[in-house]
Each structure stands twice: as C-alpha cells, then as structure tokens.
Structure 1
Amino acid sequence: MRSRPFVALYVAVFVATMGISMVSPLLPVYAERLGATGIWLGLTFSVFAIVQTFVGPFAGRLSDRYGRKPFIVAGLLVYLIAALGYLTAQNFYQVIAFRAFSGLGTSLIFSVARAYVGDLTPRGQEGRWLGVFATADIVGFGTGPLVAGVLREVLGFRSVFVAMAAMMALSALVLTLWLPRHSPAELERRATRRAGGTVTRTDRTFREALSDRVVLAVTLHAAMVAVAAGATLSFLALRLEAGIGATPIMIGVAFAMQDITGGLAQPILGRIADRRDRRLLVAGGLAAYAALLASLGVVPSYGAAVAVLLGMGATSALSMVAAGAIQVVAGRRAGMGTVLGLSSASNGIGIVAGSLLSGVVVSLFRLEAAFFFGGAVMAAGIPPFLWLTRGAAVAEASAPEPRAREAEAAG
C-alpha cells in the first residue's frame, strides 16, 4: 500500500472528497438566496445522483477498456469547472446545472479510482486494501463541512467555492504527476496478450455482468445503503434541530462524527473481512445499521443521537468494507470498472429514491417515519443478499504480488 499509485489515488480522493463535501451542504442555501424554492431546492441535492446513475456504469466499463487514469483526471477537472461555475452563477438554474455537471465528475472519479485500487490489490487482501483506501473518502467527506464552516465564517460564502476549485486542481496535479497510466492488472493483461496467452475477458456487457449472482448482490447492497443515506441526509438535520434542539454547530459535529468514526474503523474491519465470512459480515453490518437508523426516530437527546450515529458509522463500515472486498473479487471476473460502475449507478438510484420516498413517508406520517423507512428498507435487503451469494466465491486465497510488476507500475 506504500506504492506510488496507491498513495496518489489516496491523496487525490481525500482532497477531492473534502472539496465536494465542503460545497454540498451549502448549495441549497446558495440556491435559495438566488430564488430557488420547493422542488428546485430538492434538485440542488439530488440532480448529481441522477446524472451519476446514467453515466457511472459507462465510465467504469470504458475504463476497463481504455485505462483508468484519464477518466479520474477528467473527473477532477469537471469538478474544477463546476466549482468555478458555482462561483459565477447568476441564478439558481445555473447552480442546478453545475450541480448536474458535477455528477459527471462523480461518475468519472470515485468508481474508477476504486477500480484502479482493485487492480492494485493482492488476492486475499481485498478487505485490508479497500478498508484503508475507504478512509480517504469517508474522512474527507466528514471533515469537509467543518472546513467549510470555518471558511464561511472567516472569509465569506464564496471562499468555499474557491477552496473547492483549488482542491480539485491540486488533486488533478497529483494524479497527473504520480499515477501511472496503466494499473498493474492492465499491464499484466497486455503482456499476456503479447505473449499469445489467454486473458480473462473484462469488457462484458452490463447484462452479462449482472448475470453473475455476486455482482448482482453487491449492486443491490450499494442501492440499499444509498436509500438509507438518502433518507438520513434529507431529514437528519431537521430531526436534530426541530426534534432535539441541536444548534447548527452541534449538527455539523454529529454529521462529522459518523463519517470519521466509520473511516477510522475501516482499516481494522478490513483485516477482519479478510479472515472471516464476508457474507455474514455484510449481513450483520446491515442488520445493526438498520436498527440504529430506525432508532434515530425515537432518540430523546442530542447525546443519544450522537451515540447512535457513532454506532452507525462503525456498522456501516463493517458492511461496506466486506462488500467492497467482495466487489473486487467479482470485478476480477466481470471487469473491475464495470462492477464498480454498476455500483455507482445503483448508488445514484438509491439516493434519489431514498430522498423522494422518505419525503412521501414524512408527508403521510411524520418526520421520524423517514428513519423507520430507511431502516426497514435496509433490513429487507439482507435476505436477498444472502440468497444471491449462497455458495459463491466471495474470497480468494492470498497470493504474493511479484516485485517486478510493482516496480513496472511505479515507473
């Protein structure tokens, strides 16, 4: 994991995620200042996920064919343009348009970067590598809102967009200078073809990939987690403020604690995922997370809510790191980028569906019902996951990586 490609991807994703999460919570406020109301405010949150749903699978599949680095760098540049677009927007329509454009950047960066890490990962160590790499995403996402709050307080609203643009430029520069064009897995496939050997096919269609039960299972898992996230992110701030009396700073701390806890737990849980039954770890993490999510609808105090969010961070990390390890194993069969791209699409669908359906639930019942709904959806997805993965190979025996291949990749 100390190889230059891994470090470059880690730094780039951490900086990019922090920049993205700095801006995301502010966009509805920004759009409202420019005149947005009702459904337009909702679109400032969800429109990026709609774009991600349609673009993500194709970005992943094309990266299997043409290499991953160009897609990741292009995604960072897309976010750079979006940041400058927010800065110069004259009306809320432009804010929504640049938010949609940023969905293209999301599709190009995150699933493709994870696919590159999947290419780097030695067999049998998927949980360990993905667990460490996930800290870049999760901790970056958790610290971004705190940094944004300081910048907004000290330098003003627009400084947050400037900081986001600077972070995207830095990430693109790091990857351009440090990341090899082709991952070790790509170099190995090219060498095998030149030698006249047989290479595992990685350009499968989406239908062919989803015919693999494990691919279908991890795609379903991503959707379940996203539905819960959509329900939580849409109404958690309101629950904390209106139901418990939390201040804006307390709300920011609560959001950050969940993400930071999950991020710090990932490396430890990744090692566990390499030694224990990954199917049961995914199911157990989902069950615990579902129960904790539902309990957010009834917690009586801010302290209890923070304790629940800490537990959600840890249990979500358990489920996600085990599922991520399974994704890498499935990706070696069906195409790493294709599998991660399908996961990106299901994530986008889940966020939109979770936001909209939980809104309907709240309108029919009350605010607390959104958390019961999210927990119920996640719990309902556990039996299909276990059924789809029954008897399937979700782990591989450890195999040492040749030093020559690592040296070639670093060059």
Structure 2
Amino acid sequence: MQTFVRRLLDQFAVDRRVLALAFARMADGIGNSFLIIVIPLYVASGTVGGRTFGLEESMLIGIILSLFGFLNSSFQPATGRLSDRFGRRKPFILIGLAGLAVTNVAYVFAETYLSLVVIRGLQGVSVAFIIPASIALVNELATTQDRGGNMGVYNTFRLVGFGAGPIVAGAVVNLGPYALPVGPTIGGFDAAFAIAAITAVTSYLLVTVLITDPEATRANAGADLSIPIRDRSGSNLLDPIFTLGVASLFMATAIALFATIQPQVNARLEQGSTWFGLQFAAFILAQIILQTPIGRACDRYGRRPFILGGMLLLAPATLVQGFITTSELMFVARLLQGVAGAMVFAPSLALAGDLAGEGESGSKLSVLTMAFGFGIAIGPLSSGALIGYGFAAPFVFGSTLAVLGAALVSTQVEETLETTRPIPVVGDD
C-alpha cells in the first residue's frame, strides 16, 4: 500500500494530504452524483406521496435537485469565513461529510415530497461545509510554484467521482431487489441510498486518518476576511478575486445550459438518449483529462493566459451548439466546452490562491466555488426560459456571457506569477 501511495505521489507530484483529500472528494462525489439520477426515479416510482402544493411532479423534481445547488452556493461564503476565523479546515470537512452520511440514510425513511425537499436542502448545507474548507486546504498545502498542479489533481479526482456516479446509479436501482446473505432483501432504491451513505463514510474515514491542518492556518486565524468588490490597490476598477468569481459564474451558466433541454436537443439532432448522454459526458471527460496538465502548465506559463484563453474558447464552443445539426458535431462542441472549462477552473483557483493572504483562503476561494455553484443552478433555468424563443437562443445567451467574462478577465485581472515562460507554439524549436 505504501508503495502504491508513493507511486501516486510521484505521478501527480502533490502533497500526500492533497492526494488523500482528492480521493476523499472522489468517494463522496460518487455518492452525491448518484442522487442526481436516483432522486427523479424515486419520485416517479410512487414510493413517496403527500402534498404537492399544486406543483407538477417534474417541477417537484426540479425543486428538489436545484435546492441543493442554491443552498450549497449560498452557505459557502459563511462556512469559508468561519473556517478562516477558527483557523481550522478539517473539522468543517468532517461536519459536512457526517451530514451527507446521515442524510443519505434518511432517504430510506422519506415518505413525502416535503421530506425529500428538506433532506436534499440539508445535503446542500452539508456540502457547503466541505467545498470551501477543502479548496482552502489544498491552497494552503501548495506553493506558488505548484498551486495550479495541486488544484488540477484535486479537481481531477473530484470529477472522476462525480462522473462515475450517474453511470452506475440507474443500474443499481434497476437490478434490485438484492438478497443479502444475512437479513432482509434490500430494494434497488435502498441499495442506492446505502451506497451513497457508504461513500460519505469512506470519505469521512480518509479525512480523519490522513488529513491534518497546516500549522500556519491556525497561526493566522482571524485575518481580514472581507470580500471587496472594488480593487483596493486602485490599479483596476474591480477586485481580481471578485472578477474571477463573476467569470466563473458566466462560465458555469454557459456550460449548464445543455442539461435541461434534452428533448429539444434530441428532436433537433434526431438522436436518442444514448447520444445525449455521451454529449453530456464529453464535458466531464475533457475536464478529467486536462485539469491536471493545465494546472501544472499554469504554474510554468502563468494563470491569466489560460483563464483568458478558456473564456475566449468557451464563446464559440457554446454558440455553435445552437446551430449544429449532427450528433457528432454536438459531441465535439461539448468536448471543446470541457477544454475551455479546464483552462479556466484550476488556473482561476490558483490565481485566487496566490492573492489570498495567510488565513484567508476559505473566504477568498469560496467566492469562486460559490459563483460556479450558482452558475450550475442558473444555467438550466436560463435554457428552460429561453428555449421558447428558438433553439439557438440559450446558446447565444451563453456565448455572450463568455465574451463578457473574457472582457472582465482581460481588463481587471493581472498575472500573479513573477516569472513566467512564454507558452510554446506548435512547431517551435
């Protein structure tokens, strides 16, 4: 086991605690993304009932799923600031993982729509404890020279977990019930909720055993935790971290437009759900492949060129989706969106981490994670509202946001690495 861990550390060139945290987030990511598939099936199965408050079943499902994102994003600045105030990251991560484990088990006993809403809402608050503290811990375990690579490795494993969950979730439900060697037979839904709980417990154990808070975090607790909008240095109009948060919001909104218009996409491209699933997964695939190498590259060549290039690539990659007429081209467009997202996300976190002072990582980096979460929630709502104006309308909206984000980065964000190498051009010696 020690040899395996040593090889992984050599391969990814990160602190042991960063790799352990990445594995922990991969495990809880599997369980959390499980529920994106399982909850709609659970509601549609007729297992739950009770008052619907005049809402259609599809709207209830949308509320249950979106509530997680809105509460998660809303609470992140508060939990990030608290972790800075106390100078501790690990307890906040453990509180969130414990909340996930308990609420995953609670689904088994849910019998009404309202109980599902409450449980999913509590899960959103639980994850709000995990994300800012985790990102802050990665930031504090890294240095300016390797911060991008550390962020890339962390995000890679997290996305592996998030992408793997939906692939097997439906199969777990459909193959039930399961006869255990000892005890009662377990239904497909109970098995799915049990797996989600087990992944949260696994993450909890990994963090408990392998993660420790850096001493510098405790020593610098209670620093200036304000989140300015205006640039205090006076060189630009907007604060660079706030600007990166706005750009992250625009990026996330653009990439999430695709999620809720499956019927319209399938009808336009004359394709089935399999093709849509591949197109949806293309974004995540590109992220998994590119997060680590791009993170390392931004440690050598600078953060800003990758962020700006990613936002510029995002604009056409989003726009063309409104005019594509074949499934293959839509897959390529989604893949390019993934490339753009990878160019923006890890370098943005690294640049914000460079700017965050000692003991401020939770507060400062939560601006980006909160903005990304809101974008993921706003994107589907935007496409649902705009699709009535024509198939291209949501994608024109998303590409416009990407252009605005690129303009903000270009004018309001400066490079943080003191020495950078020029990005090599293909064909150069």
Same fold judged by TM-score > 0.5? yes
Match of 1:139 in 2: 160
Residue equivalent to 1:183 = 214
Q: Name 2:407's counterpart in structure 1.
A: 383
2:242·2:367 contact (CA, 8 Å) conserved in 1?
no
Q: Which residue pairs with 2:340 in the alignment?
A: 315
1:168 is aligned with what amino acid?
A: A
Change in CA separation of 1:203 and 1:294 when aligned onto 2, cut-off 3 Å: same
Q: Which residue number in structure 1 is paired with residue 6 of structure 2?
A: none
Structure with greater proportional helix content:
1
Q: Is the 8 A contact 2:229 2:239 kept in 1?
A: no
Q: Tell me, yes or no, if structure 1 residue 84 matches structure 2 residue 115.
A: no
Partner of 2:260: helix, strand, or coil?
A: helix
Q: Secondary structure at the match of 1:233?
A: coil
Shift of 1:111: 2.3
Instruction: Specify the alignment match of 1:45 in structure 2.
Output: 65
Give the TM-score of the pair, scaled to structure 2. 0.82
Match of 1:98 among 105, 119, 123: 119
- SS of equivalent residue, structure 1 residue 232: coil
Cα distance, 1:71–1:223 mapped onto 2, change above 3 Å: same
Task: Please tell me whether Structure 1 or Structure 2 has the larger radius of gyration of its CA atoms.
Answer: 2
After superposition, give the CA deviation of every residue in 1:213-264 in whole Å (9 maximum; x if it has no partner). Answer: 22112211221122224322222x3344333244334433332332122111
Query: Structure 2 matches for 1:149-168, cutoff 5 A?
Result: 149-155=170-176, 156-168=188-200
1:171 and 2:191 correspond? no
- 1:267-307 superposed Cα distances (whole Å, 9 cap, x missing partner): 11112212224222211111212211222222222222222
Contact kept? 1:142, 1:255, Cα under 8 Å: no
Query: What are the equivalent positions in structure 2 for 1:192-231 lying under 5 Å apart?
Result: 202-207=223-228, 213-231=239-257
Q: Given the superposition, is the C-alpha separation of residues 80 and 279 from structure 1 closer, same or farther in structure 2, using an over 3 Å criterion?
A: same
Query: CA deviation digits over 1:377-408, x for unaligned, max 9?
Result: 1222211222211xx4522569xxxxxxxxxx
Residues 368 and 153 of structure 1: CA distance in aligned 2, closer, same or farther (over 3 Å): farther
Counterpart mapping for 1:248-397 below 5 A: 248-332=273-357, 335-363=360-388, 365-389=389-413, 392-396=414-418
Distance 1:122 1:113, change over 3 A: same
Asked if 1 retains the 8 angstrom alpha-carbon contact of 2:38 and 2:173, the reply is no
Aligned position for 2:4: none
Deviation at 1:320, TM superposition (A): 1.3
Equivalent position of 1:64 in the other structure: 84
Superposition TM-score, scaled by structure 1 size: 0.85
> Could you tell me whether the CA contact under 8 Å between 2:303 and 2:415 is conserved in 1?
no
Residues of 1 paired with 2:263 and 2:402: CA distance? 21
Looking at structure 2, the residues matched to 244 and 161 of structure 1 have their Cα atoms a distance apart, in angstroms, of: 35
Provide closer, same or farther for how the CA distance between residues 367 and 159 of structure 1 changes in structure 2, counting only shifts above 3 A. farther
Asked if the contact 2:148–2:296 (Cα under 8 Å) also holds between the matched residues in 1, the reply is yes
In structure 2, relative to structure 1, the CA distance for the partners of 1:360 and 1:149 (3 Å cut) is: same
Structure 1 contact 53–346 (Cα < 8 Å) conserved: yes
CA contact (8 A) 2:140 2:361 kept: yes
Return closer, same or farther for 1:201/1:85 CA change in 2, 3 Å cut-off: closer
C-alpha distance in 1 between matches for 2:216 and 2:270: 52
Alpha-carbon deviations, 1:68-110, whole Å to 9, x = none? 0011111111111221222322122222221111111221112
User: Cα 1:342–1:29, aligned 2, differ >3 Å: closer, same or farther?
Assistant: same
Do the aligned residues in 1 keep the contact of 2:38 with 2:192 (CA within 8 Å)? Answer: no
Structure 2 unpaired stretches of 5+ = 1-12, 50-55, 177-187, 233-237, 421-429
Q: Check conservation: 2:287, 2:342, Cα contact below 8 A.
A: yes
Query: How far 1:357 moved relative to its partner?
Result: 2.8
Query: What is residue 4 of structure 1 aligned with on the other side?
Result: 16
User: C-alpha deviations, 1:351-377, integer Å up to 9, x for none?
Assistant: 3333333322123x1344222222221
**Match in the other structure for 1:30:** 42
The structure-2 alpha-carbon separation of the partners of 1:246 and 1:89, relative to structure 1 and needing over 3 Å to count, comes to: farther
Cα distance change, pair 2–341 in 1 and its aligned pair in 2 (3 A): closer
Return the offset for 1:151: 1.7
Query: Following TM superposition, by how much is the alpha carbon of 1:171 offset from its aligned partner in structure 2, in angstroms?
Result: 0.6
1:352 and 1:11 mapped to 2: Cα distance? 25
Corresponding position of 1:195: none
